[in-house]
Amino acid sequence: MPTTIGSLSEFELIARITSRLAPTHDVLIGPGDDAALLRAPDSRVVATTDLLVEGRHFRRDWSRPRDVGHKAAAQNLADVAAMGARPTGLLFGFAAPPELPVSWAEELAEGLAAECAAAGAAVVGGDVVRASELTLAITALGDLAGAAPVRRGGARPGDLVAVAGRLGWSAAGLALLADPPADPADPAAAAVVAEHRRPSPPYPAGPEAARLRATAMIDVSDGLVQDLGHIAAAGGVRVELDSAALRPDPELAAACALLDGADPLAFMLNGGEDHALAASFRPGTPLPRHWRTVGRIGIGSGVLLDGSPVNPSGWDHFGRGAPG
């Protein structure tokens, strides 16, 4: 019989989980005391929080515990990067049924720690509680290193709109999990499913955009059109996208061929959960190659694609959307 979390005290369970975690140079006091202590060289701290509920944001029959840990950390650390900050620390709250094996929680912690390490951050503490529904509450922290935060509302007409990171992969992966292909080992299917389970946000691109004086930036979590709509609304401007610039990656195109020829552009525009970064920059800004220019900022409101209004159909936190 596997050891369950209900058979351990809160102290024992936290000790088992935190034994999987490793500190970084930003952590002065890690797990084990009433609170953690982190360096704050900038004297300002970027903070964000998120909830993940089983059946709504992830499914245990589709994702392993490490996958859930990676995904939970990534979607919060990407928000830190979207402000132009460097991720430094992460705290987690973990509510679970008492019959859940302790090994599941330990593997979850390993995923959290591994994703934090990829971003240069560390898990610095957490809490656990018994509950009927498996739920994660994540708080991520970051440091601006003296830079001004990049907010959503600074885009101005004439600015370029660019994206760093992948678009559409996670949504295609979710679709293939819901409707598996004849050959689940197909390389294209495996690639997008892996991206859905473990997103790979371009963390360094956030601080880089701040150094390049990006005028606005956002984490693409709810779909490119929907999230660029937030930039448009915050700045009182219009985002004008160019479909020719939104060329799908070969892996995404191949995966869509397995989905009865689904349109890759639809996944790129409305998929979400890839946690790419979308930003606006002043005209003439020398963008590195990993920033792909996909449009411009114009006068007006909303989001256009090739001159026509496009309505978002991305993630709705209180409505549609399948768990992954």
Residues contributing to the annotated binding site for Mg(2+) = 34, 48-50, 79, 127, 219, 222
Indicate the residue type of 158.
G
Q: Report the alpha-carbon distance of residue 165 to residue 22 in Å, rounded.
A: 27
Residues whose CB is less than 8 angstroms from the CB of residue 267 and which lie 6 or more positions away in sequence, other chains included: 167, 168, 169, 171, 172, 175, 248, 252, 256
Q: Which two tokens stand for residue 267?
A: 């996944």
Binding residues for ATP: 126-127, 152, 221
Summarize the annotated binding site as residue ranges: 34, 48-50, 57, 79, 126-127, 152, 219, 221-222, 273, 315
Cβ(115)–Cβ(74) below 8 Å: yes
Binding residues for substrate: 57, 273, 315
Alpha carbon dihedral 211, 217, 220, 223, in 10-degree steps, equals -150
Q: Helix 169-178 to helix 250-257 angle, to the nearest 10 degrees? A: 20
Q: Quick check: 206 and 87 in contact, CB under 8 A? A: no
